Structure 1
């Protein structure tokens, strides 16, 4: 059996951060940490997968169960969650029952879980783009070429097609169906003049199967975020944006080979992506951006944790 890369302390830190807003998910993460530590039933069921050494691999199994849950294929777990929610959240005495139903779902649906394990982790919430918007407001460049690494379905590339509500300001398309809270200063007169992204496994927002995959990474309890995600996916299906299936290093090198107009600032953006790269890939991307900044202004905006056990933070790197 392969050793899972997910350290118990990593899963426990994720459980602690999600305890308030997502008690069901938090409880499962805590039990999953114990399972990984002691070689429990989930580890035995998924640990022989050839990608079991990938970062956050066990989260793929949770996404598989979440996908079955949102598709209405786990009636007993759905009934348990409804009962627990009626009692103001998942109570401690319900943890064993939640875990038992979670393990049963993995054991009873091997084909669906195997498909989920084959897919890379793709946590994609449109509200996360609020951090990108905060970064763009700090950059203060009027014309932006936006390039996203790990773009998934391209939702963050449509940032100006959403309506944002910040402290004393609004920004974006006033008629947008996607209406989200924001923070930081007013972005002002920013115009995105070009946009594109890459992903090893892009998701088509017009494809029901891809939509289901994207939705499966959102915790069951996040009903507001699920509604915003559905609205964003629907908007993206009607507003095509280029997301190429490509390795980030080669793709960014090609995109930056032709410098943008000097009046346009290139912004390279990524979120919860950097930690999946090998150190050599990270160094290569840094080198590509440093070289490109010699001929045209370039900024990197990231929403990444210093380590997977820590919460993500806004990072703003000016290369020129």
Structure 2
């Protein structure tokens, strides 16, 4: 394919992805959606912003919209786009009042200037793995553990990011007619399903190719960048969970998942302890060889210990995640 044709294909792919994500955000995050929609138009027309974004390999990713918006959001969080921060707040207030088309346009123009003036920051954001690390995701892990019914658990997480799922027993969960977890926890979340039994997590560990340290302000800021500014409740939950993980000293090891899993899947001292391998929004990032390596490791380990797997994964990037619980015989 000629170079010109490749450029056109790249541009069309990127613009389409941005528009798709903008539609998904239209109701819950209208100003962010407007910025993404205008960004797609910018790519169609060409120019400095289009040249910058389309030069990056992420333009082909189905998650390009999330990465692009996170880059813009990070400029607001680290103080490098003060005009955008001010314009965004004004546009958000207007949108909440059912107004604001003109203020949203001004927010977009400020975003455009910020992108051009901070090209290196935007490209760095496009290099990062998407890490929409929400503590509420651990609610699906809790439901999986409840289905398994084991009183003592070793918990190993693949793609653990900052380890917020690993501390689910330090959160306070509220279901229909029940509560579970640390009664004094600052992280208080709604849950679905039956009342969990008493679960003791006797060991917890995780790995990630790009682990985040909850105690590192820069890492915490990157995690916040994946939440649109309009999603206040999600941001508050994340901030509370980051603060808690920092106090607990949670650390995630930097390692490929397959290699790390082979190292940690040794038989527990107490044979009654159930080993649980957990992952969410992780599987689709892997190659077929990496998935096969993990499957082979789990199958082999099941011969020497009680083992289960809990996952919350979409079939592909276009579908919603689903909870899956596997018990190895």
TM, length-normalised to structure 2: 0.87
Task: Find out whether 1:280 has 2:289 as its counterpart.
Answer: yes
In structure 2, the residue corresponding to 1:289 is in which secondary structure? helix
C-alpha change, 1:288 and 1:297, in structure 2 (3 Å) is same
| Higher helix content, 1 or 2 | 2
Match among 37, 42, 47 for residue 54 of structure 2: 47
1:100-126 Cα distance to aligned partner (Å, 9 max, x none): 333322111123223323322211111
Alpha-carbon deviation of 1:19? Answer: 2.9
Answer yes or no: is the 8 Å Cα contact 1:132–1:301 preserved in 2: yes
d(CA) in 2 for partners of 1:99 and 1:86?
15
C-alpha change, 1:120 and 1:160, in structure 2 (3 Å) is same
- When structure 1 is superposed on structure 2, of 155-164 and 263-272 the one drifting more is 263-272
C-alpha change, 1:35 and 1:307, in structure 2 (3 Å) is farther
RMSD: 2.6
C-alpha change, 1:281 and 1:186, in structure 2 (3 Å) is same
d(CA) in 1 for partners of 2:57 and 2:112?
20
Counterpart residue number, 2:90: 83
Match among 60, 65, 81 for residue 67 of structure 2: 60
- When structure 1 is superposed on structure 2, of 175-184 and 27-36 the one drifting more is 27-36
Q: How does 1:23-34 map to 2 (within 5 A)?
A: 23-32=30-39
Answer yes or no: is the 8 Å Cα contact 1:15–1:30 preserved in 2: yes
Alpha-carbon deviation of 1:266? Answer: 1.5
Counterpart residue number, 1:110: 119
Q: Can you give the 5+ residue segments of structure 2 that lack an aligned partner in the other structure?
A: 1-5
**Total equivalences in the alignment:** 319
- When structure 1 is superposed on structure 2, of 233-242 and 89-98 the one drifting more is 89-98
Alpha-carbon deviation of 1:70? Answer: 2.3
Alpha-carbon deviation of 1:269? Answer: 1.2
Which structure would you say has the larger Rg?
Answer: 2
Match among 273, 278, 298 for residue 264 of structure 1: 273
d(CA) in 2 for partners of 1:134 and 1:40?
49
C-alpha change, 1:201 and 1:289, in structure 2 (3 Å) is same
d(CA) in 2 for partners of 1:133 and 1:125?
14
Counterpart residue number, 1:161: 170
